[in-house]
Structure 1
Amino acid sequence: MHLNDLTRKFSGTREDQGKAIFSTLFIAGNRLQTLFDSHIQELSLKQFMLLSIVRQSQEPLTFTQSGNLLGCSRQNIKKLADVLEKKGFITLRQSPCDTRAMCICPTEKADDYFRKDFSRYREELRYLFEVYTDGEVETLFRLLSRLYAGIENLERRTCHEETKKPAMEND
């Protein structure tokens, strides 16, 4: 079976299209991770994404804040940060706002990495999107931005259902 076969199979109803979109996001994420993990020297794609977010932030981010931005747990961020720290890309410092929290701070090595090595990955991103027109890129950007609203809606529903469970057990 080919991806085109799957696309045709799931093109009928809104529900089938939703299933196909969900599957496509999962598969695309895995394929991109595999591609970039094999091309990014010294860093996995997840480490690279954490480092990118940390560098873009105006102030140092805590593990929790970084996890919220990347969509993963504080514990996963801690594991990524530990590796990045050992490689010399970041330092960990106590948060000035919360003495219990640690902040992730990029080092000069991180800045050098993005100055010297990032142009290669920027070119790969250009290849990734060169099959789209400017209008298609703009539409895809808007739709993926809207996907966050759907994810937040699902998170709220999941949280709501979890808070209802104990109440139902007591009935």
Structure 2
Amino acid sequence: MTRTAQQLFGAAAVTSFKLNGQFLAIAEELAKPSGITVAWWQVLGAILHEPLPVAGIAREMGITRQSVQRVADVLADKGFVEYRPNPAHRRAKLVAITEAGHDAVRRIDPQHAAMAKRLVAQVGKDEFARIVDALTTLSAALDALEDDATDVA
């Protein structure tokens, strides 16, 4: 059966919503032993390699700036991140992970590695790589459409 563009779009959206729920449930279980939430892990993951402003984290994670700000403030209170001056923007401070934040993420690594191994065993490494590439392509296409819509407005 040949599906229309609209049917494909709908199926992709519904499948993505389901995947999001599945990943969030798994991530909650993985994060629980380290004492952090999925939302905290998302923000920490976005700044593992370099500090970013709140707006940059929001763009990276596809969530609102306001929700990132709330989480970043909690993480700062807990000592998992710190705010640093941003040479590129005086008012938009950089959010940087601290050693305590790195420790929390490292505590997730063993369970994370085990889950990744189970998933690769289920679908195969090459197929999993293909799926990741396809999801990345789909996300980039949606970003481009959003940019096009912004340019037109």
TM-score > 0.5 by shorter chain: yes
d(CA) in 1 for partners of 2:27 and 2:133?
A: 24
Please, which of 30, 47, 54 is the counterpart of residue 40 of structure 2? Answer: 47
Quick one: distance in 2 between partners of 1:127 and 1:70? 25
Query: Which of 130, 142, 145 is equivalent to 2:136?
Result: 145
Q: What is the identity percentage for the equivalent residue pairs of Structure 1 and Structure 2?
A: 21
Cα distance in 2 for partners of 1:111, 1:146 equals 30
Q: Which amino acid aligns with 1:83?
A: V
Shift of residue 135 of structure 1? 1.9
Say which one has the larger Rg.
Answer: 1
Q: Structure 2: any 5+ residue segments left out of the alignment?
A: none
TM-score by length of structure 2 reads: 0.85
Is the Cα contact below 8 Å between 2:30 and 2:111 reproduced in 1?
no
How far is the alpha carbon of 1:12 from its aligned partner? 4.4
Q: Deviations over 1:35-78 (max 9, x none)?
A: 32244122222220210121122xx2111111111112221211
Count residues in correspondence: 150
Provide closer, same or farther for how the CA distance between residues 122 and 112 of structure 1 changes in structure 2, counting only shifts above 3 A.
Answer: same
Letter in 1 for 2:145: L
Change (3 A) 1:117 1:134: closer
- Could you say which residue in structure 1 is the equivalent of 2:3? 13
2:111 matched residue in structure 1: 120
Q: What residue ranges of structure 1 are gaps of 5+ in the alignment?
A: 1-10, 164-171
**TM-score, reference length from structure 1:** 0.77
* Bigger RCO of structures 1 and 2 (CA < 8 A, at least 6 apart): 2
Give the whole-Å Cα distance in 1 for the aligned partners of 2:107 and 2:39: 19
How many angstroms does 1:159 deviate by?
2.0
**How many angstroms apart in 1 are the aligned matches of 2:52 and 2:68?**
11
SS in 2 for 1:56: coil
Sort the Cα spacing of 1:17 and 1:97 in 2 relative to 1 into closer, same or farther, 3 A: closer
Task: After TM superposition, give the deviation of residue 13 of structure 1 in Å.
Answer: 0.6
Task: Name the aligned partner's letter for residue 87 of structure 1.
Answer: K
| Residue of structure 2 equivalent to 1:168 | none
Query: Structure 1 117/143 Cα, relative in aligned 2: closer, same or farther at 3 Å?
Result: closer
